[in-house]
Each structure stands twice: as structure tokens, then as C-alpha cells.
Amino acid sequence: NAGVTQTPKFRVLKTGQSMTLLCAQDMNHEYMYWYRQDPGMGLRLIHYSVGEGTTAKGEVPDGYNVSRLKKQNFLLGLESAAPSQTSVYFCASNYQGPQHFGPGTRLLVL
Amino acid sequence: QQQVKQSPQSLIVQKGGISIINCAYENTAFDYFPWYQQFPGKGPALLIAIRPDVSEKKEGRFTISFNKSAKQFSLHIMDSQPGDSATYFCAASRQAAGNKLTFGGGTRVLVKP
């Protein structure tokens, strides 16, 4: 099992550009999450999903959108990137056990 | 407003020493308290977790102490090893709220040989 995978690993964007981060899990987990990690602030929840076709806002949802069209995939979109969105993004999944995290996507917005 | 406060931000310990990281939470509805370990360039991985019905949990060299009345919990790393050098995050969640984790700010631990 690959666990939780994230694509891409690293990306540089210019302000105003859009992009989609892809998260995939092969553990048949119902719940999936997107976090951002910034120095000194730990991980903060952006959006999450409790099942295929459902999404909900987390702590810091502004500027992001998500979709969960398939149970195994959770997409995070940035419609118009801003320098404040420079961060490391982590996807996680679980059901009744602990959250399993992916390796992260490092995003730099210039 | 940070609901889970973690201290210290960093610490240096000699090999064989004890590393202690503290966390305090505000929301009394939290009912699950995990600790995650993160190595550079990797995602966080669950280290150990505790529920509020017990005051201590030990797994190998890692121990969680939990004080419900003080709304505090801590991680003790006994006999610290250079391989323990990592960033540690405490977290808290309410199972009734979909297992959403609220993380502390993290502690970078360096174990000197």
C-alpha cells in the first residue's frame, strides 16, 4: 500500500495563478483532510471531508476550494494564489483510527 | 486564537537525557490527545496518544502525562537518542466533531550525541 500520496511535491506560482493539489489514499478511509504548515503555527486545518461528495470548512478555508468526487481522492484548489499562501500543504486520511499524513507539497507563491 | 499551546518551541538535550514537551488546551470537549513526530521533509506520523480517562500512557521510551483538571498534557522522551531529533506536535480533537485535529505550534528537539 502506498498510503497517502500527494502531487506535486514542489511548485512555484506567480501571484494570481491557479493550481490544484492532488491527494490520493489507498486505505479506503472515509475522512480526508487538508492542512497547511507554517513555522511556529503547527498545522492548521483548511478543509476536510467525511465522505465522497462531502466537504466542510476548517480553521483557515479562505482562498481555497476542495472537491471529493471519488472516495480515494481529495483535491485542494487555489483559484488566485497569493504570497500568504506560501506554505507546506499536507493531506491526511483516517476513519476510526489515527490520521495518516502524506509527504507534503511545498508551495512558493511569488 | 490558538486552542492548543505548546512549549518550548525548541530544546536541546544530551544523548541519554530526558526531553519534556508541554501542551495546554482550552476546549474541555476535546477527548483525544495525540502526539505526532515529524522528520524534515516528511509528513507527521502518530507517535502516541491518550484519552482523558487515564492520567498516563507509556510506549517504550515515550510517555504521555495527562492532567484533566489543569487542561494540560506532556510528552516525556526518556533516554533520548540522536534518532529522536525531530519536530514534535501535540494535538487535540473531539471524536464527535469528525476527528478534526487542532495542533500545537510544534517543538523542535535536537539530541546531541
Contact at 8 Å (CB) between A58 and A46?
A: yes
The one-letter amino acid at A14: K
- Kindly give, in sequence order, each residue whose CB lies less than 8 Å from that of residue B112, ignoring residues fewer than 6 positions away: B12, B13, B14, B15, B82
CB pairs under 8 A between A and B: 54
Q: Which residue has the higher pLDDT, A98 or A46?
A: A46
- Segment holding A6, helix H or strand E: strand A4-7
Determine the pLDDT at residue B98. 62
The phi, psi pair for B81, rounded to 5°, reads -120, 155
Determine the pLDDT at residue B25. 96
Return d(Cα B24, Cα A71) in angstroms, integer: 35
Q: Does B99 score more than 90 pLDDT?
A: no
Q: From the CA of B35, how many Å to the nearest CA of chain A?
A: 11
Q: Does B1 score more than 80 pLDDT?
A: no
Three cell numbers written together for B95: 471524536
Nearest beta carbon to residue A94 from set B36, B44, B99: B99
The phi, psi pair for B90, rounded to 5°, reads -90, 160
Q: What is the mean pLDDT of chain A?
A: 95
Return d(Cα B62, Cα A10) in angstroms, integer: 33
- Kindly give, in sequence order, each residue whose CB lies less than 8 Å from that of residue A50, ignoring residues fewer than 6 positions away: A30, A31, A56, B98
Three cell numbers written together for B112: 546531541
In tens, the pLDDT along A52-95 reads 999 999 999 999 999 999 999 999 999 999 999 999 999 999 98
Q: Look at residue A61 and give its three-state secondary structure.
A: coil
Determine the pLDDT at residue B2. 62
In tens, the pLDDT along B19-43 reads 999 999 999 999 999 999 999 999 9
Return d(Cα B92, Cα B32) in angstroms, integer: 6
Residues of A in contact with B44 (CB under 8 A): 43, 90, 101
Nearest beta carbon to residue A40 from set B4, B42, B105: B105
Contact at 8 Å (CB) between B36 and B44?
A: yes
**Distance, first Cα to last Cα, chain A:** 36
Q: Look at residue A95 and give its three-state secondary structure.
A: coil
Q: From the CA of A37, how many Å to the nearest CA of chain B?
A: 10
The one-letter amino acid at A46: I
Residues of B in contact with A98 (CB under 8 A): 34, 46, 49
Return d(Cα A58, Cα A28) in angstroms, integer: 22
In tens, the pLDDT along A53-63 reads 999 999 999 99
Determine the pLDDT at residue B79. 97
Residue B98's region, left for phi above 0, alpha for psi from -120 to 50, else beta, is left
Q: Does B62 score more than 70 pLDDT?
A: yes
Q: From the CA of A86, how many Å to the nearest CA of chain B?
A: 16
DSSP string computed for B41-61 = TS--EEEEEE-TT-SEEEETT
Nearest beta carbon to residue B45 from set A43, A56, A101: A101
Sequence-ordered alpha helix ranges (H) in chain A: none
